[in-house]
Structure 1
Amino acid sequence: MLKARQTGQLWKKWDEKAQKTGMHKTVFFVNGDEYTGDWKDNKRSGKGTQRWKKTRLIYDGDWRNDLRHGYGTMAQPQVGSHTFRKLYAGGWKNDKRHGYGTNYFSEEEYYEGEWYEDKRSGWGRMYYRDKSVYEGEWYGDKRNGQGMLRLASDDRYEGSWKDDKKHGSGKFFYLDKGQLLRGTWIEDVPKCGMMEDFGREGAPHMTKYPIPECKLANPRHVIDDAVEHATNQDS
């Protein structure tokens, strides 16, 4: 009986050693991937670093139940160099970018702001390759809601967006000419509105003549009718 109990105790010890729990130096997978960090119940949980052989991507950060969860960074080694290019730094939830984080699409383009299930959603700022910057609301990885797009020329649009396009009421500032268009956009196209001078005297490419005064008895009524017509055509 004593020998049987000892055998059972040894079996339990061997089983405990076989379980991945706590801190391990490095665990190598059969596909060439490797992980260094914390484990719990045979799953990556806690702090750890994962290296994928096929994509050469490296994740360093928080884990929960074998998924990236918490705060972490993704990076990729540069070809022919010992340096790394950061791809993302921020929040994760269930293996997806979630919460606040910064994603680097390239050296010239990156986004900093809120994420929801791997998509830009909420408030965020996007820096584009052409030096333009969008700051505002996002939903489903597209500009949706209220936002401001500033072009490299410093001209800018402030207003409504839908599915990555100017859509709804907005204002476009032609700062180089000293003019402002207040109007309605449908799928990136201005359909109606009023143009007025805006800082014309200090504009670098000031127009030759100022915009003449509108003589309509009720210009607001005319604009409202035009907006209703444009909206009905879109719907």
Structure 2
Amino acid sequence: MPISKQKPTSEPLWKTWDLLSQKEGIRHSVYDINGDKYVGEWKDNQKDGKGSSYSRNGRIIYNGDWKNNLRHGFGTLSIRNENMQLVKEYVGGWKYDKRHGYGTRYYGKNDYYEGEWYADMRSGWGRKFYVDGSVYEGEWLDDKRSGDGILRLANQDR
């Protein structure tokens, strides 16, 4: 009489583990291979929706929208300074991991740019506030003042 093998009654263990490792919906904390941490929404194993990313050393924090593992939508990028205080660096729109749309970039105390961005560069209408109190308001192209604009010096001269 031939001997027949019995079929396994349950899924192989690797299939169970594979299903458990799939990231979909909201996850508490997921650590990257380099130690970075992400807390937020996932879709098809990619960061997608609202979430926060923390660098391994805690110096860089992004909180905002994600799409296909990239910063995309509205978000805030903060960086810890040399005194380990959390300082906002950029607040505004993102597109495919680059600053895009309307946003504000902080360079230091009383030194910031607010306006339009395109592909990580100041482009379009914007205002740059300088430490000395002067303000440039006008057009930008490729991260430089370009086109129509006005520079108001701290002493109110134009």
Q: Normalising by structure 1, report the TM-score.
A: 0.60
Question: Does structure 1 residue 67 correspond to structure 2 residue 66?
Answer: no
Residue type at the aligned position of 2:24? T
Distance change >3 Å, CA 13–CA 150, structure 1 → 2? same
What is residue 39 of structure 1 aligned with on the other side? Answer: 42
- What is the CA distance between 1:17 and its match in structure 2? 1.2
Distance change >3 Å, CA 55–CA 13, structure 1 → 2? closer
Structure 1, unmatched stretches of 5+, are 157-235
Residue type at the aligned position of 1:94? Y
Distance change >3 Å, CA 63–CA 4, structure 1 → 2? same
The equivalences for 1:139-158 within 5 A come to 139-156=141-158
Aligned residues: 154
Report the identity percentage: 55
* SS across alignment from 2:10: helix
Higher relative contact order (CA 8 A, sep 6+): 2
- What is the CA distance between 1:47 and its match in structure 2? 0.8
Question: 2-side partners of 1:63 and 1:154: how far apart?
Answer: 42
- What is the CA distance between 1:56 and its match in structure 2? 1.4
CA RMSD, aligned part only? 2.1
Cα deviations by residue, 1:35-90 (Å, 9 ceiling, x for unpaired)? 11111111111111111125711000000111000000001124445x42110000
* SS across alignment from 1:124: strand
1:19 paired residue among 18, 22, 34: 22
Structure 1 or 2: more strand by fraction: 2
Question: 2-side partners of 1:51 and 1:20: how far apart?
Answer: 18
2:52 paired residue among 32, 41, 49: 49
What is residue 109 of structure 2 aligned with on the other side? Answer: 107
1:118 paired residue among 107, 120, 128: 120
Cα deviations by residue, 1:176-219 (Å, 9 ceiling, x for unpaired)? xxxxxxxxxxxxxxxxxxxxxxxxxxxxxxxxxxxxxxxxxxxx
Structure 1 or 2: more helix by fraction: 1
Question: 2-side partners of 1:37 and 1:69: how far apart?
Answer: 14
Structure 2, unmatched stretches of 5+, are none
Distance change >3 Å, CA 84–CA 55, structure 1 → 2? closer
Q: Return the index of the structure with the highest Cα Rg.
A: 1
- What is the CA distance between 1:24 and its match in structure 2? 0.8
1:7 paired residue among 7, 11, 19: 11
